Amino acid sequence: MEDIIYAKIIDGDMVFFFQKGYTQKELLESFEKKLNTMKSFFNIGDSIYIFLEDESQYNMIPKIAKLAVSQSIKLAGSFFGELPSMKKNKKELELTNTKIYRKHVRSGQAIENPGDIIIFGNINSGAEVKAGGSVIVFGKVSGILRAGLNTKKNVFIVVSEMASPLVEIAEVPFYNHDWPKGPISIRIEGTKAIVEPLEI
């Protein structure tokens, strides 16, 4: 089954999007699978929001809330039809086919994913991370980091501290780059990769 439910972080909140054109059974089964896939991302008591493209499906909300509670998370709110203005034009991070690692990537280790990767830890010297999509690292990167191996559209890298001798994004390499201090983002604009300091 295709990815009929996808997740985004919008302005700091996790929002699950339920698409139109599917039965409630299909949507609930897909939501349960999505929660199981992403369970390492959540801490006990975390909150989520849902967005129902089909407003007539509002009667699913109690079942959605029950599935969330089964993973020790809370349903904090629901949106219908379209996102409210307070959520529009905010910073978005899509979490489709994302793998989350809550550990350091040690020297000699290599991790890869055809989608996005989120790491809560450091990438040590001698380690390598390869992502088909974007990469977010809540830690220091001293190893090799490659992103955008499968897609160049809307791909980015966000890192708390960069000290890597080799970073590649959408086939644009950075060898021994003079990285800015503190958190940075690297994004693709046209055929160029742009490195910017980031306020978190």
Domain 5-92 has CATH 3.30.750.50: yes
> Strand, coil or helix: what is 80?
strand
Query: Top-level CATH class of 97-197?
Result: mainly beta
Cα distances (angstroms) measured from residue 86 to each of 12, 42, 83? 12, 24, 8
Mean pLDDT across 13-29 = 89
Distance (Å, whole) CA 21 – CA 48: 23
The dihedrals phi and psi of 52, each to the nearest 5 degrees, come to -100, 110
SS3 141: strand
- Distance set, CA 80 to CA 2, 4, 21 (Å): 22, 16, 15
Q: In what order do the strands lie in the sheet with 135-141?
A: 99-101, 117-119, 135-141, 156-162, 184-189, 192-197
Confidence band for 163, pLDDT divided at 50, 70 and 90: very high
- Of residues 26 and 85, the one with the higher pLDDT is 26
Q: In what order do the strands lie in the sheet with 74-80?
A: 74-80, 47-52, 13-18, 5-10, 92-94
Amino acid at 178: D
Parse the chain into domains and list their residue ranges. 5-92, 97-197
In this prediction, residue 122 carries a pLDDT of: 95
> For residues 173 and 95, what is the distance between their CA atoms, to the nearest angstrom?
25
Can 5-92 and 97-197 be said to share one CATH topology?
Answer: no
Single pTM value for the model: 0.55
What pLDDT score was predicted for residue 41? 64
- pLDDT reported for residue 1: 42
- Residues 25-66 pLDDT 10s: 999 999 998 888 777 667 677 888 888 888 888 888 899 999
